[in-house]
Every structure is written in structure tokens, then in C-alpha cells.
Amino acid sequence: MNIALPKGRLGEKAYDILEQIGFGCPSIREQNRRLVFENEENQVRYFWVKPSDVAVYVERGAADVGIVGKDILLEQSADVYELLDLGIGKCRMAVAGRKGTRLDTERTLRVATKFTNIARAYFASQSREIEIIKLHGSIEIAPVLYMSDVIVDIVETGTTLKENDLEVLEEIVPISARLIANKASYQFNHGRIQKMMEEMAAAQKE
């Protein structure tokens, strides 16, 4: 079973759960620059990938399953099965702006974001005209410098917004990590993937 994990804290948490339910691979704990780790005994192979690439590996079948944030799934609309909400990596997608911002519905709203599809879909559902300013990180700077009216971004603790005198103006959707599967792998390895899903769900409740 090939498992794509997102590099970083979320991926490490997800691996802890997988280890707990019998998909351990001790070499993954070694501090080195390797990207692929295998445990023949448990018949698993893990690889660390950029969080925004997990669904690509799964969709193309290089990974049978993967762990990915719902934000990325919504943004990319990958053709994969979403099997389980892992209840970790919880945050929310929100519209935020400078404190006290009133959204003028008469004017085209300038929206800075890296989640362009989520932003377009959200404002289209409200029939609001927007102009997207695509950024790749530190999105919060855009409204501070008046380059945009608002941002669409992830809010976890709210600290980044607070420390930049910004606030949540509208909530879009709650986000958390999901277990996803390649569609063909899910048919061929149904028993094993189903078991993984059930045990991950049970581990969550403990």
C-alpha cells in the first residue's frame, strides 16, 4: 500500500494514527532527507510530499491513499474518493479584512488568495463581483497594504489576523484533514483500505 503524507505537522499526526492501527514504518522516524520509506513486514510504503500535491499522487495512482486538507480538496476538485474526516488539522476557510471593513456590494471586491477556486465559487454563490489577486503565501499583507479589500484564507488560531489588525468578516467552510483514496485502488484493495478507514475512525474516538 502506497501512502502519500503531507510534509509537516499534519502529516506527522496522521502517521501517528496510522502507526497506532498497524501501518507502522519505523524508518520514517529517522532524521534524514529521504522521501520514501518502506516496511515490507506491514506492506506499506510512505512518501512525504508537498501538502498541495497529495491529491495529485492519489489521483494518478502513485499513492493508493493519502492524507490531505479539505481546503486543498475543495480547491483542486481531484477525482479521488474522500473516505474519512480525520478530525485533525481543524481550521476554517474565511473571508477576512481590515477591522471594521464593510463589504460594499456595489463595487467589484478585490480578493487576495491562494484559494482562487474556493473564492470564486463562494462569491459567485452570492452573486458578488470580484477580482482575484493570486498570491502564494503571507496573504494577510494584501489588505494591510490596501492592495486588496479582503482575503480568502485559512484561519486556525486567529493570531495572524489579530496581529495584523485584521478580522474574520465571513465564514466560508470548516476545514480538517481527510483520508482520500485512488478510485481504482479502492476497488482492488477494498478490504485493506476499508479496514484502514474503519480503524482510523475508531482510533479517533478513543
Restricting to residues 7-66, name those near ligand PRP by CB under 6 A: none
**Which range of residues in 11-19, 59-67, 72-80, 134-142 is near ligand PRP by CB under 6 A?**
134-142
Nearest to 5 by CA among 69, 83, 61, 87: 69
Nearer to ligand PRP by Cβ, of 155 and 181: the residue is 155
Show the site string, 88-117: x = touches ligand PRP by CB under 6 A, - = not: ------------------------------
Nearer to ligand PRP by Cβ, of 14 and 200: the residue is 14
Is there a contact between 192 and 142 (Cβ–Cβ < 8 Å)?
Answer: no
Q: What is the DSSP letter of 39?
A: E
Question: What is the smallest separation between the CB atom of 151 and ligand PRP, expressed in angstroms?
Answer: 9
Q: Residue 154 CA to chain centroid, in angstroms?
A: 10
Nearer to ligand PRP by Cβ, of 25 and 132: the residue is 132
Total residues interacting with ligand PRP, rule: CB under 6 A: 12
Among positions 138, 187, 194, 204, the unique one binding ligand PRP when judged by CB under 6 A: 138
Nearer to ligand PRP by Cβ, of 95 and 200: the residue is 95
Question: What is the smallest separation between the CB atom of 123 and ligand PRP, expressed in angstroms?
Answer: 19
Is there a contact between 78 and 182 (Cβ–Cβ < 8 Å)?
Answer: no
Among positions 100, 104, 125, 137, the unique one binding ligand PRP when judged by CB under 6 A: 137
190-205 and 9-20 helices, crossing angle to 10°: 100
> What cell was used for 71?
481546503
Nearer to ligand PRP by Cβ, of 16 and 156: the residue is 156
- Distance (Å, whole) CA 3 – CA 24: 12
- Distance (Å, whole) CA 167 – CA 205: 33
Nearer to ligand PRP by Cβ, of 126 and 138: the residue is 138
Between the CA of residue 121 and those of 116, 124, 132, 150, 167, what are the distances in Å? 9, 5, 12, 15, 21
Check residue 134 for interaction with ligand PRP (CB under 6 A).
no
Between the CA of residue 6 and those of 104, 105, 158, 183, what are the distances in Å? 38, 38, 23, 20
Restricting to residues 144-183, name those near ligand PRP by CB under 6 A: 153-160
Interacting residues with ligand PRP (CB under 6 A): 137-140, 153-160
